[in-house]
Amino acid sequence: MSSKTYEPTPARRVAFLGLGVMGYPMAGHLAHAGHAVTVYNRTPAKAQSWVGEHGHAAATTPAAAAAGADIVFACVGNDDDLRGVVLGEHGAFSGMKPGATFVDHTTASAEVARELSAAALLLGLRFIDAPVSGGNLGAINGALTVMCGGEAAAFASIHPVAMAFSKAVTLLGASGAGQLAKMVNQIAIAGLVQGLAEAIAFGDKAGLDMKAVLGVIGKGAAQSWQLDNRGPTMVEDRFDFGFAVDWMRKDLGLVLDEARRNGARLPVTALVDQFYADVQAQGGNRLDTSSLVKRLR
């Protein structure tokens, strides 16, 4: 856990569903901020490991974890995983008390966000779609950026709690707006990483000292988070951290599906998605997204 300083907030009863590379440290920050946390994970051993590290409690079903909680957070894999922990006899909605809020940090479709928001409303619950940006290091350091969609009063109630693992938590519109904003984020990243990969590959072919070149152009108009943080490691052929190619392809699939619905033209995004498919074909499924440069070498 990082040395993050937590703003004083009233202690709440919360649940966290899904203890993957993002959820595990996010739930830890909630515990360190003073909230009473009950966790659930599909693999029980992971939940027991979290309890061994942080204390608090683990439950055997999402419904049991959500029972009595003021806020239920979730961070799972995709739309189907999300429905699996939310709906049904053992899903979180069946265990939540009236007026409680479900906050979904999964990167999922805007459609499933609207679907689950409507289902929550019928049960007297509240739902916020809240995908995150910042990767595993952002989760560990409590410095995620959270993009939210939902009703303003529900957002206001969860904002100070979510700040335990975030540097910014922003409401961007009605249900689905958070997921759509995350798609915008992934479109921007895909183009940036491909441009950086081409720049580095070009500089290598030209015989330049690319670490020195990146140090120079990073002080000018080419500067970006990707250049500062991934440029040097791309030069070193290091791709063992950050956000995996498999996950990026999942996200870009959501983007391209939404673009087909709304008529947006995304030629660069579609092309970069295919470049990531090339990286997968080379066995790079679990490499960081900056591994795009590998296919140019």
CA quadruple 41, 44, 46, 52: dihedral sign: positive
Question: Active site residue: 4, 97, 167, 182, which one?
Answer: 182
Distance CA 15, CA 40 (A): 8
Both structure tokens of 288: 């960081």
Distance CA 136, CA 23 (A): 9
Where do the H-state alpha helices sit in 5-72? 23-32, 44-54, 62-66
Angle at 277 between CA 204 and CA 296, to 5 degrees: 10
Distance of CA 218 to the CA centre of its chain: 26
- In the Cβ-directed half-sphere of 196, how many Cα atoms lie within 13 Å? 28
Both structure tokens of 265: 């033209």
Task: Look at residue 3 and give its three-state secondary structure.
Answer: coil
Among 74, 117, 110, 111, residue whose Cα is nearest residue 92: 74
Residues comprising the chain, all counted: 297
Range list of β-strands (E), 107-220: 126-129, 132-133, 144-148, 166-171
Active-site residue flag, 219: no
Active site residues: 182
